[in-house]
Amino acid sequence: MSGSKIKNMEEFAAVSGISRPTVSKYFHDPESVRASTRQRIEAALERHDYRPNIFAMNQNRKLTKNIGIIVPYLADPFFAEIVRVLERRCIDAGFSPTLFSAHGEQALENDILDGLRSLKPAGVLFAPLGRLSDKSAIEAFCRDVPTVLFDSNLEGLGEAFIGSDNHSFVSQTVEYLTRTGEPPCFFEMRHPANPNANKRRKAYLTMMDRLGFEPHVIKIDGTGWGFEEIGRQGGLKVLHEDALPTNTLLCSNDRLAIGLLSACYEMGVEVGRKPEARLRVASHDDHPFSRFTCPSLTTAAHDYAAVSDNAVDTLFRVVESGGRLGERIETLFPARLIMRESA
Amino acid sequence: MSGSKIKNMEEFAAVSGISRPTVSKYFHDPESVRASTRQRIEAALERHDYRPNIFAMNQNRKLTKNIGIIVPYLADPFFAEIVRVLERRCIDAGFSPTLFSAHGEQALENDILDGLRSLKPAGVLFAPLGRLSDKSAIEAFCRDVPTVLFDSNLEGLGEAFIGSDNHSFVSQTVEYLTRTGEPPCFFEMRHPANPNANKRRKAYLTMMDRLGFEPHVIKIDGTGWGFEEIGRQGGLKVLHEDALPTNTLLCSNDRLAIGLLSACYEMGVEVGRKPEARLRVASHDDHPFSRFTCPSLTTAAHDYAAVSDNAVDTLFRVVESGGRLGERIETLFPARLIMRESA
DNA sequence: ACAAAAACTTTACGCGCGAAAAGTTCTTTG
DNA sequence: CAAAGAACTTTTCGCGCGTAAAGTTTTTGT
Distance, CA of B16 to C1' of D23, in Å = 22
Percent of all residues in chain A with a pLDDT value above 70, rounded to a whole number: 99
Q: What's the confidence (pLDDT) of residue B11?
A: 94
Question: Which residues 6+ apart lie within 8 Å of A77 measured at CB?
Answer: A287, A288, A289, B75, B76, B77, B80
B59 touches strand D (CB under 7 A): yes
Chain B (243-262) residues lying within 8 Å, Cβ to Cβ, of chain A:
258-259, 261-262
Q: Which residue of A has its CA nearest to B262?
A: A292
Whether the Cβ atoms of residue B290 and residue B259 lie closer than 8 Å to each other: no
Question: Which residues 6+ apart lie within 8 Å of A239 measured at CB?
Answer: A263, A264, A267, A269
A198, HSE (Cβ side, Cα atoms, 13 Å): 10
Q: Which residue of B has its CA nearest to A272?
A: B266
Cα separation, B317 vs A56, whole angstroms: 29
Chain A (282-301) residues lying within 8 Å, Cβ to Cβ, of chain B:
288-289, 291-296
Cα separation, B333 vs B163, whole angstroms: 6
Within chain A, residue ranges assigned H as helices are 9-16, 20-28, 35-47, 54-60, 77-92, 106-117, 135-144, 166-180, 195-211, 227-241, 254-267, 304-320
The chain-wide mean pLDDT, for chain B, equals 93
B105 part of contact set with chain A, CB < 8 Å: no
B61 part of contact set with chain A, CB < 8 Å: no
Q: What's the confidence (pLDDT) of residue A314?
A: 95
Amino acid letter, residue A215: P
Whether the Cβ atoms of residue B103 and residue B74 lie closer than 8 Å to each other: yes
Chain A (18-47) residues lying within 8 Å, Cβ to Cβ, of chain B:
none
B217-260 pLDDT per residue, tens: 999 999 988 999 999 999 999 999 988 999 999 999 999 999 99
Residues of chain A contacting B71 with CB distance shorter than 8 Å = none
A330: helix, coil or strand?
strand
CA proximity to A177, closest of A202, A206, A200, A211: A211
Residue B320: CB atoms within 10 A of its CB come to: 10
**From the CA of A261, how many Å to the nearest CA of chain B?**
8
Whether the Cβ atoms of residue A293 and residue A257 lie closer than 8 Å to each other: yes
Q: What's the confidence (pLDDT) of residue A52?
A: 93
**From the CA of B258, how many Å to the nearest CA of chain A?**
7
Distance, CA of A120 to C1' of D21, in Å = 35
- Chain mean position to CA B85: 10
Q: Which of B84, B101, B341 sits opposite A103 (nearest CB)?
A: B84
Q: Which of B54, B232, B296 sits opposite A118 (nearest CB)?
A: B54
A66 part of contact set with chain B, CB < 8 Å: no
Distance, CA of B20 to C1' of D27, in Å = 21
Whether the Cβ atoms of residue B150 and residue B127 lie closer than 8 Å to each other: yes
Cα-flanking dihedrals φ and ψ of residue B279, to 5°? -145, 145
**From the CA of B269, how many Å to the nearest CA of chain A?**
12
A337: helix, coil or strand?
strand
Distance, CA of B93 to C1' of D23, in Å = 36
CB contact under 8 A, B75 and A59: no
Residue A185: CB atoms within 10 A of its CB come to: 21
CB contact under 8 A, B259 and A296: no
**From the CA of B278, how many Å to the nearest CA of chain A?**
17
Chain D: nucleotides below 7 Å from protein CB are 7-11, 14-21, 27
Please give residues of chain A from 33 to 52 whose alpha-adjacent beta carbon (CB) lies under 7 Å from any atom of strand D: 33-34, 36-38
* pTM for this predicted structure: 0.90
Residues of chain B contacting A102 with CB distance shorter than 8 Å = none
Distance, CA of A17 to C1' of C27, in Å = 20
Residue A87: CB atoms within 10 A of its CB come to: 24
Given a cut of 70, the residues of chain B with pLDDT beneath it are: 1-4
Q: Which residue of A has its CA nearest to B292?
A: A262
SS (H, E, C) chain B: CCCCCCCCHHHHHHHHCCCHHHHHHHHHCHHHCCHHHHHHHHHHHHHCCCCCCHHHHHHHCCCCCEEEEEECCCCCHHHHHHHHHHHHHHHHCCCEEEEEECCCCHHHHHHHHHHHHCCCCCEEEECCCCCCCCHHHHHHHHHHCCEEEECCCCCCCCCEEEEECHHHHHHHHHHHHHHHCCCCEEEEECCCCCHHHHHHHHHHHHHHHHHCCCCCEEEECCCCCCHHHHHHHHHHHHHHHCCCCCCEEEECCHHHHHHHHHHHHHHCCCECCCCCCCEEEEEEECCCCHHHCCCCCEEEECCHHHHHHHHHHHHHHHHHCCCCCCCCEEEEECCEEECCCCC
**From the CA of A330, how many Å to the nearest CA of chain B?**
27
Per-residue pLDDT of chain A (343 residues), as tens digits, is 555 688 899 999 999 999 999 999 999 889 999 999 999 999 999 999 899 999 999 988 877 889 999 999 988 888 988 998 999 899 888 889 999 999 889 999 999 999 999 898 999 999 999 999 999 999 999 998 999 999 999 999 999 999 999 999 999 999 999 999 999 999 999 999 889 999 999 999 999 999 999 999 999 999 988 999 999 999 999 999 988 999 999 999 999 999 999 999 999 999 999 889 999 999 999 999 999 999 999 999 999 899 999 999 999 999 888 778 788 999 999 999 999 999 9
Interface test with B, best of A67, A69, A294, A341 (most B CBs within 10 A): A294
